Structure 1
Amino acid sequence: MAQGSSGNATPRTSRHRLVRFFLIAVGWLSVGLGVIGIFLPVLPTTPFLLLAAACFARSSPRFYHWLVNNKRLGPWIRDYLEGNGIPLKGKVYAIALMWISIGFSCWLVPSAWARGFMLLSAVLVTIYILRQKTMSQR
């Protein structure tokens, strides 16, 4: 990422208008779910805000900077981006909800190769999340 005039990284956006529109929509949906997760204990906040930041990074530098610098939401993202880690609660919820949804998907999908792919993906994402630094609870 290139450096902007404010010192914050300026993300590279997609050249395709439809891709940008889709990423912005997913980003705002993720922001909404992340905000709900602040108040609803069964919904993780950090993974949704990280997804929103990733979507905005590829679609809208303005939304990306707004989210990362937001007084209330920004610390969750900055902690991760600065290498401070992910809260334990976020890790637990992300892994649990992922395995529940993958398990349900495997139950619905009859194809063995699709089940294998989903399970492999879940294992790899779980390993990735577990290898991230764990920060103290908020």
Structure 2
Amino acid sequence: MKKNPLRILWLILGFAAIGIGAVGVVLPVLPTTPFLLLASFCLAKGSEKFHTWFTGTKLYKNHLDEFVQNRSMTLKTKFSLLLPASGMLLLAFAAMPNWYGRAFIIFLIIFKYVYFFTRIKTIPVEKS
């Protein structure tokens, strides 16, 4: 990882995003996940130790490593990412009181699957 002159700024943004994400745990109006994802991104940019640790995790190796290197995923990986996200969107669909919101959620579900199967190459599972 190269020396980043904005390292301090990335670290400050990362810790601020963690703080906002933590507040989002108790405040239902503030989403937690996007802030924690932002924190992960910022900390990886600002800290070589965090970047090394994150790229060494089982989660990264199982789901993101192949995508980052080759812009490809196995079918199993695609479905392990798409199905839980679709389940959460279907819960939001059930809770949505208006049809505009429901139509948008259906659009998101369809867009996710179209993107994953047209823009991300599907590779066979390597046999060990």
Fold shared by both chains (TM-score > 0.5): yes
Q: Is the 8 A contact 1:53 1:64 kept in 2?
A: no
Alignment size in residue pairs: 103
The answer to whether residue 89 in structure 2 is matched with residue 92 in structure 1 is no
- CA spacing shift, 1:71–1:103, aligned 2, 3 Å: closer
Residue 119 (structure 1) aligned to one of 87, 95, 106: 106
Structure 1 or 2, whichever has the larger Rg, is: 2
Report the AA paired with residue 124 of structure 2.
S
Q: Which residue of 2 aligns with 1:13?
A: 10
Percent same amino acid among aligned pairs? 13
User: Would you say 1:137 and 2:121 are equivalent positions?
Assistant: no
| SS, match of residue 129 in structure 1 | helix
Deviation at 1:84, TM superposition (A): 5.1
Higher helix share: 2
Structure 1 residue 75 and structure 2 residue 72: aligned? no
Aligned-partner Cα distance in 2 for 1:91–1:124: 14
Structure 1 alignment gaps of length 5 or more: 25-51
Post-superposition offset of 1:94? 2.3
Q: How far is 1:132 from its partner?
A: 0.7
> CA 1:18–1:84 in structure 2 vs 1: closer, same or farther (change >3 Å)?
closer
Q: How many Å separate the matches in 2 of 1:22 and 1:59?
A: 15
Secondary structure, counterpart of 1:82 in structure 2: helix
Q: Distance in 1 between matches of 2:57 and 2:86?
A: 32
Q: CA deviation at 1:22?
A: 4.7
TM-score (norm 1): 0.55
TM-score (normalised: structure 2) = 0.58
